[in-house]
Amino acid sequence: MPWDRNQMAARAAQELEDGMYVNLGIGIPTLVANYVGDKDITLQSENGMLGMGPFPFEGEEDADLINAGKQTITELSRTSYFDSATSFAMIRGGKIAAAVLGAMEVDEEGDLANWMIPGVLVKGMGGAMDLVAGVGRVIVVMDHTNKHGKSKLLKKCTLPLTGKKVVNRIITNLGVLDVVEGGLKIIEIAEGVTEDEIRAATEANIVN
């Protein structure tokens, strides 16, 4: 059985180490916060906060306290607030250890496309280009194939890029792959999935 959203998020949480400052993107990456366990992880929200807490209890929402997805959240005892220039100074300056992001396409060189489909989706890149250019490690979490069954792990991205040679690791519903010299390397296969199935669902070159 391929991993479901929560299993993918749980697998991504294993990538995070004690003491890390981490930025989680919207969608499945947000779920990663549910699986960090006892690890001492500080979540950054790029609209100006370190130490992001869970959603507030009903009736305790604060319009002045939101995450980068514009959702109401809460603060923790470790929380600090700052302005957007400071927030991206710490991102660009390499202080954030890792970002976990969703993607539309990743290719065998580590190029990432996750912000635009020309003529269809023109919402903007938000902070994604800054994150992939600045953080220590970029972990992509996404389905292995799109809804038409086509591979999202390509030889070459077809959509406008978010960043060039920026992805380090890809966690999909089928397994875990690293971007290495010459292509992608299979690191782990989801239980019940075969290596042949991963290879068949991957357009990118797989190296041994």
Catalytic residues: 46
- Residue from the set 7, 14, 42, 71 that interacts with another protein by CB under 8 A: 71
Would the CA dihedral through 129, 203, 172, 189 be positive or negative? Answer: negative
Nearest to 113 by CA among 149, 70, 142, 135: 142
Quote the least distance from Cβ 162 to another protein, whole Å. 7
Site for another protein in 134-193 (CB under 8 A): 134, 160-165
* Interface with another protein (CB under 8 A), residue from 18, 38, 57, 181: 57
Among 10, 24, 32, 49, binds another protein (CB under 8 A): 49
Q: How many CB atoms neighbour CB 30 within 10 A?
A: 18
Q: Is the distance from CB of 43 to CB of 69 less than 8 angstroms?
A: no
Of 2, 27, 51, 69, the residue at the interface with another protein (CB under 8 A) is 69
Residue for token pair 């700052």 = 82
Asked if residue 76 binds another protein (CB under 8 A), the reply is no
Partners of 68 in the β-ladder: none
**Residue from 81, 136, 155, 197 in contact with another protein (CB under 8 A):** 81
One-letter amino acid of 7: Q
Binding of another protein by 102 (CB under 8 A): no
CA triple 39-135-126, angle to 5 deg: 110
Least separation in angstroms between residue 62's CB and another protein is 7
CB of 142 to another protein, least distance (A): 19
Q: Which residues contact 87 (CB under 8 A, 6 or more apart)?
A: 44, 46, 47, 48, 49
Tokens of 108: 């065998």
Is residue 120 at the binding interface for another protein, with CB under 8 A as the rule?
no
Q: Which residues bind another protein (CB under 8 A)?
A: 45-49, 54-67, 69-73, 75, 81-85, 87-89, 91-92, 111, 122-130, 133-134, 160-165
